[in-house]
Chains A and B, each alone.
Chain A
Amino acid sequence: MSRNPTRLAPLVVLVVLALLPYSTLQVPGLFDGVLNSPGTLQLIALCLVFGGVALSYDLLFGFTGLLSFGHALYFAAGTYVANLALTELGLGLGAALALTTVVGVVLPLLVGGVALRVSGIAFSMVTLATAQVGSIIVLQDPGGLTGGEEGLAVAREPVPDVFIGVFNTVNKYWLALAYLALVYLVVTLLTRSRAGRVWAAIRENERRVEVLGLKPYPFKLLAFVLAGLLATLGGVVHLLLLGGSTPRVTTTDFTLSLLVMVVLGGAGSRWGAVLGGVLYTYLDSRLTDLAQSPAVQDLPAWLRVPLSEPLFILGALFVVVVFFFPGGIAGLVARLRERRAGRRPGTTPPPDGTTVPGRAVEQLREAAGRGVGVGAGQPRDGV
Chain B
Amino acid sequence: MSTVVLLTVTGLGLAALYFLVASGLSLIFGLMGVLNFAHGAFLTIGAYGTWWAAENIPGAGATGWGFVYAVAFGVAVGTLVAAVVELTLIRPLYERHIEQVLVTVGLSLALVALVRAVWGADPRPFPRPELARGTTSLLGANVPNDRFLLIATAIVVLVAVLAFLRFTRFGLVIRAGVENRTMVTALGIDVRRAFTLVFAIGGAFAALAGALGGIYLGSISPGQGTSLLIFAFIVVVIGGMSSITGTAVAAVLVGLVQQFANYYAASGVGDLSVVLLLAVVLLTRPGGLTARLA
Residues of A within 8 A of B (CB): 67, 114, 117-118, 121-122, 124-126, 128-130, 132-133, 136-137, 140, 252-253, 256-257, 259-260, 263, 305-306, 308-312, 314-316, 318-319, 322-323, 326, 361-362, 364-365, 368-369, 371-375, 377-382
Contacts and interface: CB of A to CB of B under 8 A. Distances in A.
A180 B95 CA distance: 36
The 5 A-B residue pairs whose C-beta atoms are closest, nearest first, are A315-B110, A315-B109, A379-B182, A311-B113, A318-B106
**Size bracket, chain B contacts:** 35 or more
B166 interface: no
A377 B95 CA distance: 10
A124 B37 CA distance: 12
Nearest to B189: A382
Contact of B98 (A125, A136, A305, A368): A368
A23 to B, nearest CB: 35
Contacts of B230: 128-129, 132, 252
B103 A319 contact: yes
Nearest to B274: A129
A256 B105 contact: yes
B226 A252 contact: yes
Contacts of B93: 322-323
B79 to A, nearest CB: 21
Given A309-B117, A315-B106, A381-B190, 4 more contacts: A306-B114, A314-B109, A373-B291, A375-B181
Interface string B63-89: 000000000000000000000000001
Contact of A361 (B98, B188, B192, B240): B98
B279 interface: yes
B185 A379 contact: yes
Given A312-B110, A312-B117, A381-B190, A368 B97 contact: yes
Contact of A132 (B188, B190, B271): B271
Contact of B275 (A130, A140, A315): A130
B179 A133 contact: no
Contacts of A309: 113-114, 116-117
Contacts of A253: 109, 226
11 contacts: A114-B279, A118-B282, A125-B237, A309-B116, A316-B110, A322-B103, A365-B98, A368-B33, A373-B291, A379-B95, A380-B95
